[in-house]
């Protein structure tokens, strides 16, 4: 499996202040790649650079095996989609008319509009004007627009931040389906559960640098404590070390049928981020 994004020692400076310093990573074709970090860590700056919206100071990068100037060509813009806080929707048009306009732009069949509106659960609201929509509804329309042309590469910047749990689950389902059809997804999020369940690999960005990168499972194993927590039927809990002595104790609890549950004390993705950076993902 080749790489769809390659970034080497990427740096970006604003007025002599470093936003990114020697950021290096690759995104494999067909994966969902999580790019996590607290506010101000450089996530959105990275997306703007990767999508040709912003120049960088130094380093090198390739997208679709081309340098960044390729993304400014109309041919390339049909190959990727972007969802950021800048919606780019036409306020006085309906949801449906907005999406039909982009169908023409991307040369996509008009029936695709109903398909993406079903994914974001807005098919019954398609006649509403954009300026009458709530923040959450606008976000779903913007996501529908990003999905419209089934891009080879999709950049999502906080895609579910304004959504309720029901709509969030619907979006997850739609993103998984799109990914299974071959779309590579580059995702930033503050929701650690979202990153855990959606992403194949995760990079932690802090103070403009990649501090950690790996699969969610591998990162959890790396930072897991060498112990387990056993909840007993009498309401008590005990913490056991993963060694022969405590293995014998666990066996005794099992023989006496005293165990209610066993937990591995595996850290969450959020726990790992705090450990690595000393900051909450807020």
**Each residue of 172-219: pLDDT tens digit?**
888 898 899 899 999 998 888 899 999 999 999 988 889 999 999 999
Q: Report residue 280: phi and psi, to 5°.
A: -80, 150
Distances (CA, A) of 180 to 77, 121, 185: 21, 20, 11
Alpha-carbon gap, residue 248 to 100, rounded angstroms: 67
Q: What is the pTM of this model?
A: 0.83
**Each residue of 72-120: pLDDT tens digit?**
787 787 888 888 765 678 999 999 999 999 999 888 999 999 999 998 8
**Each residue of 220-246: pLDDT tens digit?**
888 887 777 888 888 888 888 777 778
Which domains, ranges and CATH numbers included, belong to the chain?
3-79+151-220 (3.40.50.300), 225-265 (no CATH)
Q: Are 83 and 159 in contact (CB under 8 A)?
A: yes
Q: Are 195 and 268 in contact (CB under 8 A)?
A: no
The pLDDT assigned to 86 comes to: 58
The pLDDT assigned to 53 comes to: 86
**Average pLDDT over all residues of the chain:** 87
* 3-class SS letters over 194-207: HHHHHCCEEEEEEC
């Amino acid at each position: 499996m080749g790489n769809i994004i390659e970034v080497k020692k990427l740096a970006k400076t604003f007025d002599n202040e470093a936003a990114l310093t020697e950021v290096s990573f690759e995104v494999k074709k067909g994966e969902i790649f999580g790019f996590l970090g607290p506010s101000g860590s450089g996530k959105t700056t990275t997306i703007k650079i990767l999508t040709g919206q912003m120049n960088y100071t130094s380093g090198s990068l390739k997208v679709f095996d081309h340098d960044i100037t390729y993304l400014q060509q109309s041919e390339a813009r049909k190959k990727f989609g972007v969802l950021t806080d800048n919606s780019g929707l036409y306020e006085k048009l309906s949801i449906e008319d907005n999406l039909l306009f982009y169908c023409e732009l991307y040369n996509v069949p008009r029936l695709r509009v109903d398909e993406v509106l079903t994914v974001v659960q807005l098919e019954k609201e398609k006649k509403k004007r954009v300026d009458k929509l709530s923040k959450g509804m606008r976000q779903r329309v913007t996501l529908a627009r990003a999905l419209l042309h089934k891009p080879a590469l999709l950049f999502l910047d906080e895609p579910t931040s304004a959504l309720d749990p029901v709509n969030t689950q619907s979006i997850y389902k739609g993103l998984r389906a799109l990914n299974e059809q071959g779309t590579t997804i580059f995702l930033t999020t503050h929701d650690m559960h979202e990153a855990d369940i959606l992403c194949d690999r995760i990079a932690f960005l802090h103070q403009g640098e990649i501090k950690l990168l790996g699969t969610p499972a591998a990162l959890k194993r790396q930072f897991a404590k060498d112990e387990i927590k056993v909840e007993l039927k009498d309401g008590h809990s005990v913490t056991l070390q993963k060694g022969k002595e405590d293995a014998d104790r666990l066996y005794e609890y099992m023989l006496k049928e005293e165990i209610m549950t066993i937990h591995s004390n595996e850290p969450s993705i959020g726990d790992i981020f705090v450990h690595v950076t000393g900051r909450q993902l807020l």
